[in-house]
Amino acid sequence: MPLKVALPNKGSLAEPAISIFRSAGYRQRSDAKDLIFLDPENEIEFYYLRPRDIATYVGSGELDLGITGRDLLLDSGASAQEILDLEFGRSTMRFAAPDGSGIQSLVDIKGKRIATSYPRLVDEYIKEAGINATIVELDGAIESAVRLGVADLIADVVATGSTLRQAGLVAFGEPLSISTAILIARSKDPSFDLVVRRLQGVVFARQYVLIDYDISQENLTAACEVTPGFESPTISPLQKEAWFAVRAMVPRREMHQIMDRLYGMGARGILITEIHSCRL
């Protein structure tokens, strides 16, 4: 029996979810209208579903694995658990109220109406804070709730904040949650290990790059301290006497600073190569 895996069929998580599975060596649908796609070589059947429904299907045991947002999993109340943080689709949930409304802190929420698509998550948050307020559950277009008179403020996922500003809303307070895309399952099972390992390889590879450079023997030790690699750097002698070629993995976010430091200590031929996947 093939594993059954749910992927988002729309929204900000859809394309990155498909991309990470492709990078992990799994075939994906070529037609966005396809709701089911079988990868016979890897014995996986993919189901393309609404991101909000994925936790429910996985939690019920109808599907084995799925990709959804951590906030959606928490809000669903489904019997599913996080297996792997995929480290994309980062989002923050915030309260927001009309500019000049006087609602600027948790204390000001008391007795107010809060519109949200995440009723369970918001309810748990305000109860933990000891706040009594009314939750208005809506599905989409949350920013219009205040203008249309059904709520006094909203609690919604915020990316850049531009949508809030267009609606005349201002975010306030600490985030209710910080979410990323996650791989979920009803429970851990050895049959999932290969999928998890492949996805882990892609997640890790996206955090690093390979750096290659040439360095003189007198600066070799200092250069290797800058690029220690995962285990240790690979060092090969060059035809040029007392010069060596070095290869190592370095954090992607630090690669430009590392290149600058290496150049400053005399390294030349400094190259960066993408890593698409790895097993470490």
pLDDT confidence band for 100 (50 / 70 / 90): confident
What is the C-alpha to C-alpha distance for residues 18 and 14, in angstroms, rounded to an integer? 6
Are residue 191 and residue 212 in the same domain, yes or no? no
Residue 50's pLDDT is what?
Answer: 94
Is 189 among the domain residues? Answer: yes
Write out the two tokens for 182: 């996650």
Residue 245's pLDDT is what?
Answer: 98
Q: Output the average pLDDT for the chain.
A: 94
State mean pLDDT over 130-159. Answer: 90
Are residue 184 and residue 85 in the same domain, yes or no? yes
Is 261 among the domain residues? Answer: yes
Are residue 60 and residue 186 in the same domain, yes or no? yes
Q: How far is CA 249 from the centre of its chain?
A: 22
Is 265 among the domain residues? Answer: yes
pLDDT in tens, 70-82: 999 999 999 999 9
Are residue 141 and residue 192 in the same domain, yes or no? no
What percent of the chain is predicted at pLDDT more than 70?
Answer: 99
What is the C-alpha to C-alpha distance for residues 247 and 249, in angstroms, rounded to an integer? 7
pLDDT in tens, 115-137: 999 999 999 999 999 999 999 99
* Amino acid in position 26: Y
pLDDT confidence band for 90 (50 / 70 / 90): very high
Are residue 84 and residue 99 in the same domain, yes or no? no
Are residue 76 and residue 10 in the same domain, yes or no? yes
CATH number for the domain including 101? 3.40.190.10
Q: Which of 212, 151, 204, 272 is nearest to 20 (CA)?
A: 204
Helices H / strands E in the chain, number of each: 8, 15
Are residue 154 and residue 122 in the same domain, yes or no? yes
Q: Which of 81, 124, 89 is nearest to 19 (CA)?
A: 89
Is 251 among the domain residues? Answer: yes
Is 280 among the domain residues? Answer: no
For residue 161, pLDDT beyond 80: no
pLDDT in tens, 44-64: 999 999 999 999 999 999 999
Are residue 72 and residue 192 in the same domain, yes or no? yes
Contact between residue 230 and residue 280 where contact means Cβ atoms under 8 Å apart: yes
CATH number for the domain including 226? 3.30.70.120
State mean pLDDT over 172-194. Answer: 94
Q: CA dist 26 to 23, 46, 194, Å?
A: 7, 10, 12
Is 279 among the domain residues? Answer: no
**Residue 46 exposure: Cα atoms within 13 Å on the Cβ side:** 25
For residue 159, pLDDT beyond 70: no
Domain that holds residue 192: 3-89+180-205
pLDDT in tens, 200-252: 999 999 999 999 999 999 999 999 999 999 889 999 999 999 999 999 999 99
Residue 263's pLDDT is what?
Answer: 98
Are residue 158 and residue 21 in the same domain, yes or no? no
Are residue 200 and residue 78 in the same domain, yes or no? yes
For residue 166, pLDDT beyond 80: yes
Q: Which of 140, 138, 145, 134 is nearest to 168 (CA)?
A: 145
What percent of the chain is predicted at pLDDT more than 90?
Answer: 86
pLDDT in tens, 30-43: 888 899 999 999 99
Are residue 105 and residue 26 in the same domain, yes or no? no
Is 140 among the domain residues? Answer: yes
Are residue 67 and residue 194 in the same domain, yes or no? yes
Is 247 among the domain residues? Answer: yes
pLDDT confidence band for 160 (50 / 70 / 90): low
Residue 248's pLDDT is what?
Answer: 97
Task: Give the chain's domain count.
Answer: 3
Q: Which of 26, 41, 68, 7 is nearest to 195 (CA)?
A: 26
